[in-house]
């Protein structure tokens, strides 16, 4: 204790911080997982032979001749993804039907035998190049379950086939950000998962393996909703590992593939906002599916809805009212400006607020000259050093008394709270319980736009 008082004094006199940042609380995210958290949202594109049959799961018997997009345009997909703030795109290279969208050497059930581009088309090449051009990351979905391939009944032969597809995909198309291994239909079949993982890691060590994989887990539903409390650290085979959830959901209710009569299923703006708040706003990553139509374009109504959604989100989170506050905190590590609460003014500058060793509770207080009105609170934990906070609350000062307006649990990469519009001059973000000293890197207060979700006073 005496030593920390000494260092505090030294810091405030000299202005140079003599105290180290807190030790990481393992497990922490890998650099690739951290990058994935930072992207917040990705676009899923289900496209394949199903697209031409108005079916979600064809049974592997549809002839390759039926695959024939008239104007395959992944540049449009990638551009739209970029415009709406999605940092990556996952393309379905082979769905459960087994039809492969690049000219593989390992099956005849692939685009080579379709009329598309006279049989010389390569959809994976075009999609990966489009992503590169738009400046977003490229990933692919590859269904382990295969309803077409005769080798499926022979585990060893099928594993070899699956690995040869992985080998082609991971060597011929540049950087792969995420490999999405779907669990559907896999029950009762034995796969060489470990062999798949080691091949992926050998060919592209930075690729994240999702769902039936060690790097990203499925959130557990297809509604785009993460639970109230999101924990990244999970127990796997007796080991605690960083295994964060991804929320996948289609923009057309329950339809992953394009259906000619599916437009009426397009989610409303409110549903999409709700999904945003319950996925990204709870610290998970959102993977929103938008399916290209039979021409090979994202349908116009879907694009319009996406842009509308993006515009509302950008509008709400445009002005962080907290910037103009006077910031203070219950405790500042080493009393040093390097760890002061006003480091939480701006996002993504690497700076944070934290406390002295052993101080696991505390608060950041914001004081304004004039009352402000806000109805959205954003808080971000510095997850690079581990996820720590288990309970937190938000308080406002009303008529001289502190009143709790939010009582919550985890924070994680990002937490967004919605509350009825509140006017006050003082706000407190309180850490009520944390596994180790709390580390907060951002606090924002916002007033929503009239188009955003309404939050009732009750
Ligand atoms: C599920 C599949 O069965 C659906 O068709 C879709 O691909 C979805 C993302 O995953 O498991």
- As for ligand 1, residues whose beta carbon falls within 6 Å of it are 56, 182, 184, 248, 256
What value does the mean pLDDT take over residues 268-292?
Answer: 98
Instruction: Tell me the CA–centroid distance for residue 182 and ligand 1, in Å.
Output: 7
Q: Looking at ligand 1, which atom is closest to the CA of residue 143? A: 7
pLDDT of residue 196: 98
pLDDT of residue 3: 53
> What is the tens place of the pLDDT at every residue in 429-443?
999 999 999 999 999
What confidence tier does 139 reach under pLDDT thresholds 50, 70, 90?
very high
What value does the mean pLDDT take over residues 130-157?
Answer: 98
Q: Which residues contact 216 (CB under 8 A, 6 or more apart)?
A: 33, 36, 178, 208, 209, 210, 243, 244, 245, 246, 285
Q: In the predicted model, is pLDDT for residue 9 greater than 70?
A: no
Strand partners, 140: 91, 179
What confidence tier does 410 reach under pLDDT thresholds 50, 70, 90?
very high
Instruction: Tell me the CA–centroid distance for residue 4 and ligand 1, in Å.
Output: 54
Q: Which residues contact 261 (CB under 8 A, 6 or more apart)?
A: 54
What value does the mean pLDDT take over residues 349-356?
Answer: 97
Q: What is the 3-state secondary structure (H, E, C) of 224-278?
A: CCCCCCCCCEEEECCEEEECCEEEEEECECCECCCCCCCHHHECCHHHHHHHHHH
Instruction: Tell me the CA–centroid distance for residue 47 and ligand 1, in Å.
Output: 12
Q: In the predicted model, is pLDDT for residue 458 greater than 90?
A: no
What value does the mean pLDDT take over residues 5-18?
Answer: 62
What is the average pLDDT value for the chain, to the nearest integer?
96
Strand partners, 430: 363, 393
Before 405, cis peptide (omega within 30)?
A: no
What value does the mean pLDDT take over residues 139-163?
Answer: 98
Q: In the predicted model, is pLDDT for residue 10 greater than 60?
A: no
Q: In the predicted model, is pLDDT for residue 50 greater than 70?
A: yes
Contact 406, 368 (CB under 8 A): no
> Could you tell me what percent of the chain has a pLDDT over 70?
97
Number of H helices, E strands in the chain: 8, 17
Q: In the predicted model, is pLDDT for residue 304 greater than 60?
A: yes
pTM comes to 0.97
Dihedral-angle region of residue 319 (phi above 0 means left; psi in -120 to 50 means alpha; beta otherwise): beta
pLDDT of residue 418: 98
Q: In the predicted model, is pLDDT for residue 231 greater than 80?
A: yes
pLDDT of residue 457: 73
Instruction: Tell me the CA–centroid distance for residue 291 and ligand 1, in Å.
Output: 13
Q: Please choose from 51, 222, 288 the residue to mutate so as to test ligand 1's pocket, defined by most ligand atoms within 8 A of CB.
A: 222
pLDDT of residue 1: 45
Contact 232, 244 (CB under 8 A): yes
> What is the tens place of the pLDDT at every residue in 381-402?
999 999 999 999 999 999 899 9
How far is it, in rounded angstroms, from Cα 375 to Cα 417?
A: 8
Q: Please choose from 256, 288, 289 the residue to mutate so as to test ligand 1's pocket, defined by most ligand atoms within 8 A of CB.
A: 256
Contact 83, 34 (CB under 8 A): no
Instruction: Tell me the CA–centroid distance for residue 247 and ligand 1, in Å.
Output: 12
* Ligand 1: residue whose CA is nearest its atom 3: 184
Q: In the predicted model, is pLDDT for residue 15 greater than 80?
A: no
> Could you tell me what percent of the chain has a pLDDT over 90?
94
pLDDT of residue 16: 74
**Which token pair is 354?**
């934290």
């Amino acid at each position: 204790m005496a030593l920390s008082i000494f260092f505090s004094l030294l810091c405030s006199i000299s202005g140079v911080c003599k105290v180290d940042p807190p030790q990481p609380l393992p497990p922490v995210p890998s650099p690739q997982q951290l990058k994935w958290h930072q992207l917040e949202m990705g676009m899923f594109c289900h496209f394949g032979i199903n697209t031409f049959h108005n079916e979600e799961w064809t049974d592997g018997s549809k002839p390759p001749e039926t695959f024939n997009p008239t104007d395959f345009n992944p540049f449009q997909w990638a551009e739209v993804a970029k415009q709406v703030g999605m940092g990556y795109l996952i393309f379905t290279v082979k769905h459960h039907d087994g039809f492969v969208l690049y000219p593989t050497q390992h099956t005849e059930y692939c685009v080579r035998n379709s009329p598309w581009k006279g049989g010389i088309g390569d959809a994976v090449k075009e999609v990966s190049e489009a992503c590169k051009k738009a400046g977003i990351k490229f990933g692919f979905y590859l269904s382990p379950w295969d309803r077409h391939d005769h080798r499926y009944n022979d585990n060893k032969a099928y594993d070899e086939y699956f690995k040869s597809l992985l080998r082609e995909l991971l060597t011929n198309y540049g950087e792969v950000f995420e490999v999405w291994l779907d669990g559907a239909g896999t029950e009762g079949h034995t796969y060489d998962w470990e062999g798949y993982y080691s091949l992926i890691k050998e060919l592209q060590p930075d690729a994240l393996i999702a769902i039936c994989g060690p790097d990203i887990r499925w959130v557990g539903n297809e509604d785009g909703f993460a639970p109230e409390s999101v924990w990244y650290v999970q127990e796997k085979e007796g080991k605690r590992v960083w295994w964060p959830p991804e929320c996948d959901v289609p923009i057309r209710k329950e339809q992953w593939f394009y259906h000619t009569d599916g437009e009426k299923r397009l989610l409303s703006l409110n549903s999409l906002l709700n999904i945003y708040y319950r996925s990204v706003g709870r610290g998970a990553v959102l993977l929103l599916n938008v399916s290209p139509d039979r021409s090979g374009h994202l349908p116009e109504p879907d694009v319009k809805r996406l842009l509308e959604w993006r515009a509302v989100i950008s509008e709400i989170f445009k002005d962080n009212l907290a910037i103009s506050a006077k910031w203070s905190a219950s405790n500042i590590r080493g009393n040093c400006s390097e760890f002061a609460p006003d480091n939480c003014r701006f996002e993504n500058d690497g700076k944070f607020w934290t406390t002295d060793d052993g101080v696991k509770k505390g608060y950041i207080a914001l004081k304004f000259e004039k009352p402000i009105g806000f109805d959205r609170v954003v808080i971000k934990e510095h997850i690079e050093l581990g996820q720590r906070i288990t309970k937190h609350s938000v308080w406002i000062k009303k008529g001289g008394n502190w009143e709790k307006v939010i009582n919550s649990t985890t924070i994680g990469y990002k937490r967004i709270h919605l509350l009825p519009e509140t006017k006050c001059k003082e706000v407190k973000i309180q850490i009520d319980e944390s596994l180790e000293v709390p580390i907060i890197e951002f606090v924002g207060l916002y007033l929503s736009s009239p188009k955003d979700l309404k939050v009732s006073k009750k």
